[in-house]
Amino acid sequence: MSYEKVWADNQKLNKNEISKLKKDGLTIFDDIPHYAKAGFESIPKDQYMYFKYAGLTVQKPQDKGLFMLRVKVPTGILSDEQAVTLAKIGHDYGRDVLDITTRQSIQFHWVPLEKLTEIFDRLKKVDLTTSEAEGDAPRNVVGNPLAGIDPNELFDTRPVVEEIYRFFQDNPDFSNLPRKYKISVNANIFNAGQAEINDLAFTPATKVIDGQKRLGFNVKVGGGLAAKPYLADALNVFVVPDQVIKVAEAVTTIYRDFGYRKSRARARLKYLVADWGISKFEEKVLELTGPLPAAGHDEISGWNGGFFFGAHPQKQKGLNYIGISVPVGRIHSDDFLRIAELARTYGNGELRTVSSQNLIIPNIPDQVLDELLTDNIFKKFPIHPAHFTGYAMACTGDEFCNKALTNTKDRMEEIAARLDREVDLDVPVRIYMVGCTNSCGQRQIADIGIQGLKLRAENNQLVDAYELFVGGTLIGGGHFNERLKGRIRASVISDVLKEFLIYFKNEKEKGETFFEFKNRLGTEKLQVVLDAILENFDN
């Protein structure tokens, strides 16, 4: 460790901070083999927090010795051997299920404690890691899943992501941050890196310097969803690719040394940026980096929501990528393995994970593209999914999450399937479901967000119910969706959504998106529409 923990003498540190001063999170990897031998009961409860640094969460019910395990996939790029390893881990240790997360990682459930070291060994052999996939440390670096092959990218961001990932990964200088810390690096002009919801985001920009047009990044800081969402603010700096690491180190150092450690609820970077104001934050960054040019021309020209369905030409002539729909991000290990095999047979073996919880197979030559698409796997995981199923997302929900009040993944799949059968639209509508007030399913930026709660029924029992939020986006710097009044029981949620979307279908203009429609009509009007619909149901 080559830095001084300037907060160490602070009298008002929270309990986790005091523990982290005594023992660094990354040391959990030394402890796990001992716990694995001695059994789950041997783990003191106050050590559970350290498991996060190994990408592990004790799974509910908490006494069974099972874990959720998350593997980082920087910018979503998996080699053939990495993809195959993940499929086999799912098969051998995770009851055949893989979840693709909204940060392009892969999650497994039901992983037994005694198998963890075997899994770590397998991952290490293919240069994958669970380390710092959770915990108060730099999380998976997200970015453009098409990096290097994207006709809509300013330049290839793979070297920058690699540099950032290697710099921060298991770096003891940055393994004790106040809270989780999310970095995005993207040069796709449709904001594939979802910059505004990250702590630190590099976005595509250009600037004329010394008469020469330079390609690089503008920078945003302090974004994040969670229960108190905040959209990232822009620093007035322009960064060329080989200076990115300097800026990332500066921002992260400021967060490490000045981020709040008294209350975990106030520990994310967004609180520091809000308190200091963006100008003071920028001054501090420049103190560490030295002078940087003012922000360049913002090259973002829209937002694709992180969706890449269909077969499309790459920037490399004669090669294509296909975007595959994985409903709510959940896939059986055999199916994942099959897709990995197809990637090897028809492409170069690479597979890519997308923040919309889907997959991409890149590098398919023109002459074999049609043949590839005849494979039966694409009946189950289509490249042109039905609108609702393809554009639905869901968080983990009450199956595994202790905070969840309702089911999410199964319910979202059911609702989307019904809407696909019964509502035919000319545009997709992004519906994201979460099981509580948090935001693991990015509810706040959905066209229609569905948030779970429990409603008291006539028999005094609590039943699953949902609230709707309308009009979220990251277009134009972002806007969070707005809550409509009315709690909707699980038993009628798909009926209500169907009626709501039929109203959208009947009243919308041709090609009008749900976000445009909501802005044209206003939230109040949509409230009136929902009220009228709810009157017709026994809700």
Partner 1 sequence: MKLFRFIVSTEEGELPVIAAAESEEAALQVVDQEIQHNLLIQPKIRDVVLIEKKGIKKSGAGYLIQPRKSYE
Does position 536 interact with partner 1 (CB under 8 A)? The reply is no
Q: What CA–CA distance (Å, rounded) separates 285 from 292?
A: 10
Does position 49 interact with partner 1 (CB under 8 A)? The reply is no
Residue nearer to ligand SF4 on the CB measure, 158 or 264: 264
Q: How far is CA 254 from CA 104, 136, 273, 284, 437, in A?
A: 26, 15, 10, 8, 29
Partner touching 453 among partner 1, ligand SF4, none, CB below 5 to 8 Å by kind: partner 1
25 is catalytic: no
**Of 110, 454, 512, 529, which lies in the binding site for partner 1, with binding defined by CB under 8 A?**
454
**Of 332, 380, 403, 505, which lies in the binding site for partner 1, with binding defined by CB under 8 A?**
403
What residues line the site for ligand SF4 (CB under 6 A)?
395-397, 401, 403-404, 434-436, 438-441
Binding to partner 1 (CB under 8 A) within 214-273 occurs at: 227-229
**Eight-class DSSP state of 464:** E
Partner touching 440 among partner 1, ligand SF4, none, CB below 5 to 8 Å by kind: ligand SF4
Three-class secondary structure of residue 456 per DSSP: strand
Partner touching 455 among ligand SF4, partner 1, none, CB below 5 to 8 Å by kind: partner 1
Q: Which residues contact 279 (CB under 8 A, 6 or more apart)?
A: none
Residue nearer to partner 1 on the CB measure, 125 or 228: 228
508 is catalytic: no
Do the beta carbons of residue 112 and residue 106 sit within 8 Å? no
Does position 496 interact with partner 1 (CB under 8 A)? The reply is no
Does position 58 interact with partner 1 (CB under 8 A)? The reply is no
Strand partners, 235: 219
Three-class secondary structure of residue 212 per DSSP: strand
Quote the least distance from Cβ 485 to partner 1, whole Å: 9
Q: How far apart are the first and last CA of the chain?
A: 59
Binding to partner 1 (CB under 8 A) within 420-449 occurs at: 436-437, 444
Residue nearer to partner 1 on the CB measure, 15 or 37: 15
DSSP alpha helix (H) spans, 358-512:
366-372, 377-380, 387-390, 409-422, 493-507
**Of 402, 421, 522, 525, which lies in the binding site for partner 1, with binding defined by CB under 8 A?**
402
Q: What CA–CA distance (Å, rounded) separates 7 from 504?
A: 53
180 is catalytic: yes
Question: Which one is catalytic: 52, 179, 220, 498?
Answer: 179
Residue nearer to ligand SF4 on the CB measure, 230 or 504: 230
Do the beta carbons of residue 441 and residue 422 sit within 8 Å? no
Residue nearer to partner 1 on the CB measure, 30 or 63: 63
**Of 168, 174, 469, 500, which lies in the binding site for partner 1, with binding defined by CB under 8 A?**
469
Partner touching 469 among partner 1, ligand SF4, none, CB below 5 to 8 Å by kind: partner 1
Beta-sheet pairing, 233-239 with 77-78: unpaired
90 is catalytic: no
Residue nearer to ligand SF4 on the CB measure, 230 or 281: 230
Three-class secondary structure of residue 487 per DSSP: coil
Does position 481 interact with partner 1 (CB under 8 A)? The reply is yes
Do the beta carbons of residue 477 and residue 303 sit within 8 Å? no
**Which residue is associated with the tokens 């976000």?**
515
Does position 462 interact with partner 1 (CB under 8 A)? The reply is yes
441 is catalytic: yes
Q: What CA–CA distance (Å, rounded) separates 95 from 89?
A: 9
Does position 525 interact with partner 1 (CB under 8 A)? The reply is no
Q: Which residues contact 203 (CB under 8 A, 6 or more apart)?
A: 186, 191, 193, 195, 217, 218, 219, 220, 298, 299, 300
Do the beta carbons of residue 158 and residue 185 sit within 8 Å? no
Partner touching 397 among partner 1, ligand SF4, none, CB below 5 to 8 Å by kind: ligand SF4
**Amino acid present at 391:** Y
Question: Which one is catalytic: 70, 268, 498, 518?
Answer: 70
284 is catalytic: no
Residues binding partner 1 (CB under 8 A): 15, 227-229, 402-403, 405, 436-437, 444, 453-456, 460-462, 465, 469, 480-483, 487, 523
- Give catalytic residues, as residue numbers: 70, 179-180, 435, 440-441
